[in-house]
Amino acid sequence: MNVLEIIRTATILQLCGASLSLVASSAILFMVRDSLFFSKRKASSGGGASSNRTKAKTPYRRLIVGLSISDVLQSLALVVGPFVPPKGTPQSPWAIGNTASCDAFGFIMLAGNMAVPMYSFALSIYYYCRVKYKMPNDVFFNKVEKKLHFTIAIFVVVVCFAALFTESLNAIPTGSACQVSSIPVGCRDNPNYECTRGTEAVVPFVWINMSVSFFCLIGIIVMMVLLCWNIVFRQNVTSGLNRRSTSNLRMGTTGSNDPQEEVAHEGWFRRRLVNSIALLTIFQDQRGDETEAMYLSRIYMAQMLLQCTYYVLSYICTFMFTWVMSGYYISGNAPPVWILCPLALFYSFGGALNILVFTRPKVHTLRIRYTELSWVKAFWLIVKHGGEIPSEDVILNRNRSREQSRQCEEPENGEYLFCCWGMVKILVDDVSSLQADSYWQQDHESAANEEESHEEEPEEEEEEEEERSLRSYDASTITSYTKNKVHSGQLLLAIQEEEEESGVEDSVAQDQNPAQQRHEAKLAYYNRIRKMVDGEDPDFSDEH
C-alpha cells in the first residue's frame, strides 16, 4: 500500500469509529439525561427496582454527562472532518468547505480533545474522594465538583479562542480533520515554503494539547495508586478488627464459656435455631473470619476500583497514539505512515469504549439475575431503559413465548419453579415484616385446636413463646436459605419428596387447578421449614 491508500484507509476507519462513538456518547446522554439538571424527578414505572423512588443527580452521573458531551463534540468534528477543510486543499481530496467551516469544526475538535482527558481525570478524583474520605454527594458537589466544572470550562474556552484568533486551526497533514496545524503542509520544516496560516503560535498550542492529556494521565495514575493503597490498608485494618470481634462472638454472646449459662440465657429454641441455620448468614465462600457485611464492603470497594481501572484503560487506548504523533510533530520529524491507521481507529473509538465501561456494572448484574440473557440483549435493555436495570415484568414479557414453550414441554417443572419463586417472595415480604404467613398461622392454629383437649395451659404458653421467637428471628437467614435451595434445585426436590410422602395420587393432582397446587406446595414447604427449624427433619438440612 502506498501513502495515499494508507491515508484513505485511515480516513475510512476514522469515519466508522467516530460515527460509532457519536452514537454511543449520544446514548449515554440519553441514559443520564436526568442529570442534566440538578433537580429530582420521579423514575418511570418501567424502570425496574428503582421505579418507586427518585433518581438522585449524583456527581458521578454529572461528570459522565461532561465526558459524554466532550466526546460528542470530538466525534462530530471527526465525522465531518474530511469534508470541512477548504475546497482544493491538497491533503484533503474530500474537502468541500472553506476557511470558516474549518475554523468552526477545528474549534469543536480542540475543545473536545482537551475536555475528554480533563473529565476523565475528574472521574478519578470523584472515585478517590468517595473511597478515601467517604465524601457524600452533596459535599463533593459543593467542595469539588463545582470547581472542576468551572476550571475545565474556563480553560477549554480560553485555549480554543486563543487558537482561533491566532489562525492556528487548519487542516492537519493527513487532511482528515481540522485541528492545530500549519498550512501548507511542511512549511515549518522547509524554509522554502512560507506558512500562510498557523505560524509560530502553533507549537505552543500543540504543547498545551499534548500536555493536557499527558498530565491528566499522570494525575489519573496517582489517583489510582492512592486508591489502591487506601483500599488495601483499610482491608488489612478491618480484617484484624473483624478477627478479634469474631473470636469474641464465638465465645458466646453472653461473654461466658459456661454451657449452663448459655443455656439459661438463650433458651432451648434459640440455641437449636442458631445451631442449625445461623451460619447461612455468612457467605459460603468465605472460610475465614469475614462476615457478610465485611465481604460486601470489600466487594463494593473492589468494584469501584475495577470501574475506575476500566476508565483509565479506555483513556489510554484513546490517546496513546496521539501522544506519539504529537512527539513527532514537536520534534519536527515525520511520523511513520503505518501509525495513521491505529491512530484514526483508537482516537475515534473513545466514545464507544466509554459506553461499554459505563454500562458494564448494570449489564453484569442483569446477566447474573437472568442467566438466559446474552450480553447483547442485556446491553440493549440497559441502554433502552436509560442506564437502569429494567423491571422483572419487562424481562418476563420479553421471554414469555420462550417460557410458555418450556412450560408446555415440562409442565410439572415449570409449575414447581413458579411455586419456588413465589415462596421466596412470600418469605421476603412476610417474614421480614415480622408477621407470620397466613398458611403458617393456620397450620399452628389447627395443631393447637387438635391438641387443646390434651394439653395443659403451660404447654400452650410454651408454644406461643416458640412462635414469638420464630417471628422475631432475622428473616435474612430463612430468605438466604430459601434462595440457595432454589438456585441449587434442592428446593424443587424437597417439594417433590413432600408430595410423594403425602400420598397424593396423580389422578387427584390432575383434577386440581394450578392455584390449588401452588397452595398445597406452599403448605408443604412451610411444614418442611418448620420441621427443619425444630430439628425434626434431618434430611432437609444444610448438609444438602
| Cβ atoms 175, 92 nearer than 8 A | yes
Q: Of the candidates 115, 113, 13, 94, which has an alpha carbon nearest to the alpha carbon of residue 343?
A: 13
Spatial separation of the C-alpha atoms in residues 287 and 296, rounded to whole Å: 15
Alpha-carbon gap, residue 378 to 391, rounded angstroms: 13
With H, G, I as helix, E, B as strand and everything else as coil, classify residue 197. Answer: strand
Closest CA to 319 of 115, 61, 60: 115
Decide if pLDDT at 107 tops 90: yes
What was the pLDDT predicted at 214?
87
Q: How far is CA 348 from CA 32, 81, 315, 425, in A?
A: 22, 11, 12, 47
Which part of the chain is CATH 1.20.1070.10? Answer: 8-38+56-236+311-365
Residue 62, SS3 per DSSP? helix
Cα(68)–Cα(42) distance, integer angstroms: 23
pLDDT reported for residue 387: 76
State the pLDDT at residue 297.
Answer: 63
Domain 8-38+56-236+311-365, CATH among 2.10.10.90, 1.10.1740.10, 1.20.1070.10, 2.60.40.10: 1.20.1070.10
Determine if residue 178 is left, alpha or beta; phi over 0 gives left, psi from -120 to 50 gives alpha, anything else beta: beta
Report phi then psi at 142, rounded to 5.
Answer: -75, -35
Task: Tell me the one-letter amino acid at 322.
Answer: T
Least reliable range by pLDDT among 234-243, 323-332, 466-475 = 466-475
Q: Chain-wide mean pLDDT for the chain?
A: 69
The pLDDT of residue 148? 94
Work out the angle between the directed axes of helices 146-165 and 59-79 (0-180°, nearest 10).
20
Residue 7: C-alpha distances to residues 12, 13, 91 (Å): 9, 10, 9
DSSP 97: B
* pLDDT computed for residue 287 by the predictor: 42
> What is the crossing angle of helices 411-426 and 475-488, to 10°?
170
pLDDT at 195 over 90: no
Q: What angle do CA 200, 205, 210 make, to 5 degrees?
A: 130
Structure confidence at residue 494 as a pLDDT band (50, 70, 90): very low
Which one has a higher pLDDT value, 502 or 69? 69
Better-predicted residue by pLDDT, 458 or 283: 458
Q: Give dist(CA 7, CA 176) in Å, integer.
A: 8
How far apart CA 528 and CA 544 sit, in angstroms, is 14
Q: What is the pLDDT of residues 230-289, one digit of tens each?
A: 777 766 665 555 555 555 545 544 444 444 444 444 454 444 444 444 444 444 444 444
Rg (CA), the chain: 33
Q: Which of 41, 159, 9, 47 is nearest to 386 (CA)?
A: 47
Separation between Cα atoms, residue 9 and residue 2, nearest integer Å: 11
Task: Give the residue among 146, 126, 124 at the shortest CA–CA distance from 134.
Answer: 126
Global model pTM greater than 0.75: no
pLDDT at 81 over 80: yes
* Residue type at position 38: F
pLDDT confidence bin for 365, thresholds 50/70/90: confident
**Closest listed residue to residue 368, CA positions, set 389, 396, 387, 393:** 389
Q: What's the pLDDT tens digit per position in 122-170?
A: 998 998 888 888 888 889 999 999 999 999 999 999 999 999 998 889 8
What is the distance between the alpha carbons of residues 29 and 136, in angstroms, rounded to a whole number?
A: 24
Q: Which residue has the higher pLDDT, 191 or 87?
A: 87
Residue 381: band (very low, low, confident or very high) from pLDDT cuts 50, 70, 90: confident
Residue 390, sorted as left (phi over 0), alpha (psi -120 to 50) or beta, turns out to be beta
CA 330 vs CA 152, 247, 257, 295, 314: distances in Å: 25, 64, 76, 51, 25
